[in-house]
Amino acid sequence: MNANLYEQFRARFPSDRSRTFVEAASGTRWSYAELEDETGRIAACLRSLGLRRGDRVAAQVEKSPRALFLYLACLREGLVYLPLNPAYPEAELDYFLRDAEPALLVCRPKSQSGLEPLARRHRVAALLNLDDAGEGSLADAADSLSPLEDTAACDAADPAALLYTSGTTGRPKGAVLSHRNLASNAEVLKRAWGFAPDDVLLHALPLFHTHGLFVACHCVLAAGAAMLLLPRFDVDGVLRLLPRATVFMGVPTFYVRLLQHPGLDEAATRTVRLFISGSAPLLPQTFEAFHERTGHRILERYGMTECGMVTSNPLEGARKVGTVGAPLAGVALRVVDGKGNALPPGSTGAVEFRGPNVFSGYWKMPERRAEDFSADGFFRSGDLGVMDSDGYLTLVGREKDLIISGGLNVYPKEVETLLDRYEGIAESAVIGMPDDDLGERVTAMVVPSASAGELHPPSIIAELKTMLAGYKVPKELHVVDELPRNAMGKVQKNLLRDRAARVADGAASGPVPGRESRAVD
Ligand code: MCA
Ligand code: AMP
């Protein structure tokens, strides 16, 4: 059997291929027959470039149906798809291209000339472009070719995608996801959430992360269903299209923003059978307010780039607010103590899981396996949780130093490394502060070096913006005398967060936490 994920989806496509697969915000529709045709043409283009099974295809493009077809065409050809956030500036791209060594980079037309030297430097053999309307040199090349009919034969363990996640070391790591990893999670989610051919998913997430690319699109593809593809999340766009949708997925910020609109009510959500939230904690007050306004109980689930989804509240049965539900079918999940011993329900510990959805390791980092996995093959998530007696997991914190802002992960170390290099800064600490909209707000504390003149936070922020994607750049930067440290010399971020919170509440008499505090927004 061909384990190629595309082939597995194809077996589920509706027999009536004229049924809609995707409709863009413009109203243009692509049927399943057109999905086959488009991906066949792009696959022909990829083959004509000489790309071979296992080659990486990096894509830094805007969201569009053609961007999705590019991903599916890579699957068809047995290539490894590497999606990149368009917000990454050149400095961040440099790392990904050097590390992943893609054979092809597909970029936005407007950034092509700027990226040519970078692509040359990293020996990327081909550079094509694709714009938000699906036009560009990739489309031109694909349109001139006849569509391929076949799908490359793949083993289940062959890599299908490479997604970078940053880490506590500050150095991003490429999670290699195989056809088996993605296929097993797609099937399990389709069943758990009851996706059927007549479902219509309203898709407002980005296409460069697990949530928008895999969780959302794979459920649709695995069920032969349809989706309405918004170019980005915006409240008006979502409220306009919700009456045509049956399922909606989002990060908690989507729900917070929808609740701010008076148009969100029972009538606006009548056709929807399921609202799903994930990527960051859904606050109980958001869950309750949404229920009150619409009658819907949002289903919260939990996952990671490295493994797709691992737990979910149920479709039928109790959705427990504040929990991320029970392990999904086929996923073994345990909460362990510091020695790796499984803990009983009610005890807090580190969350680990194992299953066909779990990746086998990071790109070019085989030495990390012993650190990332237990001896019996459980992946160490870095999340802390507690199981209740019904088998529902509640996440209570993280071992890893991570901020989740609007559903996007920011590893403080990455920002601190850049701040520490800034002339005049002796050291820094980056923390997440509670934020009504984003969940957590990236906040920096910097200590000036002894010889430094006055630090100018807006200039520091402006410089960071040239080196980091905007969502990672601190929304606030405070100049402080010193950072609180424990006996081991480690910065006590919990103390910093407490002090910053007291200052924000106006409860503290002094600034955060030393001599002076300045914020920039
Ligand atoms: C944009 N900005 C942000 C964020 N997004 N700042 C902090 N946090 C963010 N998440 C900044 C931009 O840099 C810009 O800054 C300004 O906000 C406006 O940008 P814009 O693009 O207009 O923002 P937006 O449209 O309001 O975007 C917010 C958003 C978006 C809709 C919440 O970030 C989003 O779609 N988030 C979803 C992320 C996602 O899919 N996560 C799943 C990861 P400036 O003005 O200074 O330039 S997968 C995952 O986590 C696991 C596997 C899982 O379980 O799903
Ligand atoms: P990523 O690195 O983008 O794959 O993000 C994975 C991390 O997001 C997990 O390790 C969790 O810390 C967090 N996460 C995902 N879903 C949830 C959720 N429902 N509640 C709380 N945290 C979540």
Do 469 and 427 fall into the same domain? yes
How confident is the model at residue 210, as a pLDDT? 98
Residue to probe by mutation, ligand 2, list 307, 395, 405, most atoms within 8 Å of CB: 395
Residue 310 Cβ < 6 Å to ligand 2: no
Residue 400 Cβ < 6 Å to ligand 2: no
Do 392 and 409 fall into the same domain? no
Whether 427 is covered by a domain: the verdict is yes
Domain count across the chain: 3
Coil, strand or helix at 445: strand
Coil, strand or helix at 327: strand
How confident is the model at residue 515, as a pLDDT? 41
How remote is the CA of residue 344 from the centroid of ligand 2, in Å?
23
**Is the distance from CB of 290 to CB of 298 less than 8 angstroms?**
yes
Residue 60 Cβ < 6 Å to ligand 1: no
Do 412 and 510 fall into the same domain? yes
**Is the distance from CB of 171 to CB of 151 less than 8 angstroms?**
no
Q: Which residue has the tokens 């509240």?
A: 313
pTM of the shown model: 0.95
Residue 457 has which token pair? 């936070």
Do 413 and 497 fall into the same domain? yes
Q: What residues does 105 pair with on adjacent strands? A: 58, 127
Residue 165 Cβ < 6 Å to ligand 1: no
Do 176 and 38 fall into the same domain? yes
How confident is the model at residue 194, as a pLDDT? 98
Whether 510 is covered by a domain: the verdict is yes
DSSP state of 57: E
Residue 371, CB half-sphere, CA atoms under 13 Å: how many? 7
CB atoms within 10 A of CB 468: 21
Q: Which residue has the tokens 């917000």?
A: 87
Rg of the chain over all Cα atoms, to the nearest angstrom: 23
Residue 407 Cβ < 6 Å to ligand 1: yes
Q: What residues does 446 pair with on adjacent strands? A: 428, 479
How remote is the CA of residue 303 from the centroid of ligand 2, in Å?
6
Residue 210 Cβ < 6 Å to ligand 1: yes
Residue to probe by mutation, ligand 1, list 301, 358, 393, 471, most atoms within 8 Å of CB: 471
Nearest protein CA to atom 23 of ligand 2, as residue: 280
Boundary of a domain, candidates 154, 183, 212: 183
Nearest protein CA to atom 5 of ligand 2, as residue: 304
Do 409 and 394 fall into the same domain? no
Whether 412 is covered by a domain: the verdict is yes
Q: Is the dihedral of CA 135, 138, 143, 144 positive or negative?
A: positive
Domain that holds residue 469: 403-519
Nearest protein CA to atom 35 of ligand 1, as residue: 205
CA distance 179 to 156: 5
Do 120 and 174 fall into the same domain? yes
Residues 6+ positions from 274 with CB-CB distance below 8 Å = 193, 194, 246, 247, 248, 299, 315
Do 380 and 451 fall into the same domain? no
Whether 294 is covered by a domain: the verdict is no
For the chain, give the longest Cα–Cα distance.
73
Q: What residues does 299 pair with on adjacent strands? A: 276
Residue 381 Cβ < 6 Å to ligand 2: yes
Residue 384 Cβ < 6 Å to ligand 2: no
Residue 208 Cβ < 6 Å to ligand 1: no
Residue to probe by mutation, ligand 1, list 163, 189, 234, 251, most atoms within 8 Å of CB: 251
Q: Phi and psi at residue 332, in whole multiples of 5°? A: -95, 125
CA distance 484 to 495: 7
Do 34 and 129 fall into the same domain? yes
Do 376 and 506 fall into the same domain? no
Do 380 and 445 fall into the same domain? no
Q: Specify the CATH number for the domain of residue 495.
A: 3.30.300.30
Whether 478 is covered by a domain: the verdict is yes
DSSP state of 295: S
How remote is the CA of residue 248 from the centroid of ligand 1, in Å?
18
Boundary of a domain, candidates 398, 429, 458: 398
Q: Specify the CATH number for the domain of residue 387.
A: 2.30.38.10
How remote is the CA of residue 469 from the centroid of ligand 1, in Å?
10
How remote is the CA of residue 279 from the centroid of ligand 2, in Å?
4
Nearest protein CA to atom 8 of ligand 2, as residue: 279
Nearest protein CA to atom 9 of ligand 2, as residue: 304
Do 392 and 462 fall into the same domain? no
Residue 213 Cβ < 6 Å to ligand 1: no
Whether 413 is covered by a domain: the verdict is yes
Q: What CA–CA distances, in Å, run from 485 to 118, 151, 494? A: 40, 56, 10
CA distance 319 to 299: 6
Residues of the chain with pLDDT under 50: 507-521
**Is the distance from CB of 70 to CB of 42 less than 8 angstroms?**
yes
Q: Which ligand 1 atom is at minimum distance from the Cα of 469? A: 13
Query: DSSP states of 189-245 as a string?
Result: HHHHTT--TT-EEEE-S-SSSIIIIIIIHHHHHHHT-EEEE-SS--HHHHHHHGGG-
Residues 6+ positions from 275 with CB-CB distance below 8 Å = 247, 248, 249, 250, 255, 269, 290, 294, 296, 298, 299
Q: Specify the CATH number for the domain of residue 167.
A: 3.40.50.980
CA distance 343 to 330: 20
Nearest protein CA to atom 37 of ligand 1, as residue: 407
Whether 112 is covered by a domain: the verdict is yes
Coil, strand or helix at 127: strand
Nearest protein CA to atom 6 of ligand 1, as residue: 471
Whether 281 is covered by a domain: the verdict is no
CA distance 234 to 513: 37
Boundary of a domain, candidates 357, 376, 398: 398
Ligand nearest to the CA of 440: 1
How confident is the model at residue 514, as a pLDDT? 43
